[in-house]
Amino acid sequence: RSGYVAIIGRPNVGKSTLINRILGQKLCITSRRPQTTRHRILGIKTNDSGQFIYVDTPGMHSDNKKAMNRYMNRAAASSIEDVDVILFVVEGLKWTDEDKRVLKRLQQDARCPVILVLNKADKLDDKAALLPQIQELAAQFDFAAVVPVSARKGMNTDLLEQEIAKL
């Protein structure tokens, strides 16, 4: 088994931290040049379940007015059209308009299962406080799984990898 896993989310939700946590700092490939026109490969992880290629989705912009953004949006659309799993990363209780725009793009362009990742769970004393946000998001998109994690602490990231391997 092998597959492409795309990471999507607004800036600052913890995508890089999550990738580094999953791949381990040393395994993370960093390159200034995109390796493909569609994806930037962030790293590859091989484990018992198979090989997983983690990719970035360049230009996941939400403002469609400017020509450059339109171009970038097409690139982003094609970059999420040909992956096997998408991780939609949001920050625990910080649900913003920018997140909503990313979700809208997913609704338009995603052709594969999407896992909702609620990051920074370590910041919450009461994890049950996440439930209203999960309900609101689940009403708008049919997520394949919902996984609260802490990329910083490494909490639940193994569970997330198991969910990725299932799809």
Q: In angstroms, what CA-CA distances link 62 with 47, 86, 161?
A: 35, 17, 28
- Considering only 13-21, 79-87, 146-154, 158-166, which stretch makes contact with Mg ion by CB under 5 A? 13-21
Across 12-24, b (16+ Cβ under 10 Å) vs e yields ebbbeebbbbbbe
DSSP assigned state of 33: S
Measured from the CB atom, is 97 or 142 closer to ligand GDP?
97
Whether the CB-CB separation of 82 and 112 falls below 8 Å is answered with no
Closest to ligand GDP by CB, 12 or 140: 12
Alpha-carbon distance values, 160 to 13, 48, 75, 94 (Å): 16, 15, 27, 20
Q: Is 79 annotated as a binding residue?
A: no
**Considering only residues 62, 69, 113, 122, which one is a binding residue for ligand GDP as defined by CB under 6 A?**
122
User: Which partner from the list ligand GDP, Mg ion, none does 13 bind, CB cut-off 5 to 8 Å by kind?
Assistant: ligand GDP
First to last CA, the chain: 10
- Dist. CA 58–CA 79, nearest whole Å: 8
* Partner from ligand GDP, Mg ion, none binding residue 148, C-beta < 5-8 Å depending on class: none
d(CA 62, CA 41): 22
Smallest gap from Cβ 48 to ligand GDP, in A, equals 25
Binding mask 78-117 for ligand GDP (x = CB under 6 A): ----------------------------------------
Instruction: Output the known binding site for GTP.
Output: 9-16, 56-60, 119-122
Binding positions for Mg ion, rule: CB under 5 A:
15-16
Binding positions for ligand GDP, rule: CB under 6 A:
9, 11-17, 119-120, 122-123, 150-152
